[in-house]
Structure 1
Amino acid sequence: MTASDKAFTGSIPQIYDQLMVPLIFEPYAQDLAQRIRARQPRDVLETAAGTGVVTRALHAQLPPQVRVTATDLNEPMLMQAKTHVADESRMTWRQADALALPFADASFDAVACQFGVMFFPDRVKGYAEARRVLRRGGRFVFNVWDRIEDNEFPHVVHETLQEIFPENPPRFFTRTPHGYYDTGRIKADLTEAGFTDIVIETVTHCSRAASPHEPAMAFCQGTPMRSEIEARGTPGLTAVTQAVAGALERRFGSGPIEGRIQALVISAG
């Protein structure tokens, strides 16, 4: 992972929230919230909350007496998240590093993290922090993307970018979002952090978009991939986005399109 992989700045949070969240994140957010709800927690911590898709799902699914603390390292993403449930009294918003959580030991019954651990510079440390703040019997529930070949839209985007920039292809997708899917490695990292009861499931959903342009915009301009594209200059962000939209249209059609998405959902205690 590079420093730019964590750069959710400028217009990225807004595009991410408007296009990327419904495209690939919403079904997994509902899944995580259901798993947390089944634990009947009193206090829930969310790390790497992003623009708050899981936060909103938790807010909708959990009883009103359950307290939810949503954190993210990136303030612009957290500010975008606040626009959805900013006035909810039981919500606490806090900028925080998942590798150095500003909470006392045994403060939460559950810790949730949606597609965030791939961005942790030290995953074992991040896992150990989650374990530290969990109460006895609590669970750390999170997800990671499976390999890029099992996620059709980003795979087409990735392959197209390799063709556009053959001498210096952007590798954000395979380096970070789709770079941490080996179940043996995940289990080893969690075990090193002190977890003993680890369950990993493969969960597949369908990603839908109104047109090929939407996922092209989402992946090229609503993620840190944007910085990699812009850094390469010609042909430029707009032309690259159009080329990606064309590739998606050739693969999936010109109208509403859909493709498989697949992730691993992990529960550890």
Structure 2
Amino acid sequence: MEIDSPSASFIGTIPANYDRYLGPLIFEFSAADMAKRVASGLNGAARILEVACGTGISTRHLSEKTPGGTEITATDLNQAMLDFAAEKNGALEGVTYQQADALTLPFADNEFDAVVCQFGVMFFPDKAAGLAEMSRVLKPGGQLTITIWDRFEVNPAVGIVDSVIKSAFDTNPPRFLEVPFNLLDVSAVESLYHGAGFQDVDVTHVSEAVKVLDHENVARGFLTGNPTVLEVNERGSVDIETLIKAASKKLEDTFGPVPVALPFREITFQSRKSKP
């Protein structure tokens, strides 16, 4: 994942916490949906580029759902995430992992039949440049699929954790969660597509009620499975475990005791690169 901040490195225990806690909560359903959409747009074996693959959850779903013989190049800016993905997924047929900056992709023009990016665009320091790069390496007629999270209002569990974080700091609270959940909207992403030369853009809101068995795992995921934990530790005035307990309590107060279904909503964008 890409973000222009020294606090935004997915290092140390972050990849493992990201995968353990956030994987089943918010990434599995999204990755399964995205992989089906990508596969339905392919005509047989294809070359796919995945940008910002994280711990490889979407990589695995793409490998399982795309036609036999498909080659998937899974990239991420953060080597620690790639290492985790490769170790966890093992030898997936046709899958290779490569460190790459989304703003300067190390691939030739018109190289891939499909390019996908699950929850990565929000972190690009230069989003227009990132879209332009993905368009450049995409073959004419190839499909670019991007997913982003919708806002806190329709992802209330995340909004609750964010509110607990901010209430614990008198000044300069950690703000990382605003980036993936409160930065882009439909018109902004459509404009990015158009700026990269795409014409018609299909937009789909995907909602899922995810069964939760432990509110603390939800809180721990959003607090330690991303650079929020680095921001909290840098400030030094609040203990991360204190925040986890406070967020867990507020989640239970809001949604009730477990088991409970928490609502999440993402937005998927798809468009094909124009042919000459």
> Which bracket does the TM-score occupy, shorter chain normalised?
over 0.9
How far apart are 1:239 and its partner, in Å?
A: 1.2
SS at match of 2:31: helix
Q: Percent identity of the aligned residues?
A: 37
Quote the residue 1:84 is aligned against: 88
How far apart in 1 are the matches of 2:7 and 2:30? 21
How far apart in 2 are the matches of 1:228 and 1:2? 14
Quote the residue 2:149 is aligned against: 145
Q: Which of the numbers 10, 13, 19 marks the counterpart of 1:11?
A: 13
Quote the residue 2:42 is aligned against: 40
- Asked if the contact 2:232/2:238 (under 8 Å) is kept, the reply is no
1:25 and 2:24 equivalent?
no
Q: 1:89 to 1:204 in 2, by over 3 A?
A: closer
Quote the residue 2:260 is aligned against: 257
Letter matched to residue 96 of structure 1: A
- Asked if the contact 1:5/1:119 (under 8 Å) is kept, the reply is no
- The count of residues paired between Structure 1 and Structure 2 equals 268
How far apart are 1:116 and its partner, in Å?
A: 0.3
Q: Residues 1-269 of structure 1 correspond to what in structure 2 (within 5 A)?
A: 2-4=4-6, 6-40=8-42, 42-174=46-178, 176-269=179-272
- Asked if the contact 1:68/1:92 (under 8 Å) is kept, the reply is yes
Could you state the TM-score of these two structures normalised by the residue count of structure 1?
A: 0.95
CA RMSD of aligned residues (A): 1.5
Deviates more, 1:116-125 or 1:188-197: 188-197
- Asked if the contact 1:118/1:179 (under 8 Å) is kept, the reply is no
- Asked if the contact 2:112/2:138 (under 8 Å) is kept, the reply is yes
Unpaired runs of at least 5, structure 2: none
How far apart in 2 are the matches of 1:220 and 1:88? 30
SS at match of 1:187: helix
SS at match of 2:177: helix
How far apart are 1:2 and its partner, in Å?
A: 4.9
Deviations 1:99-153 (A, max 9, x none): 1111111111100110000001111111111111111110100100111111021
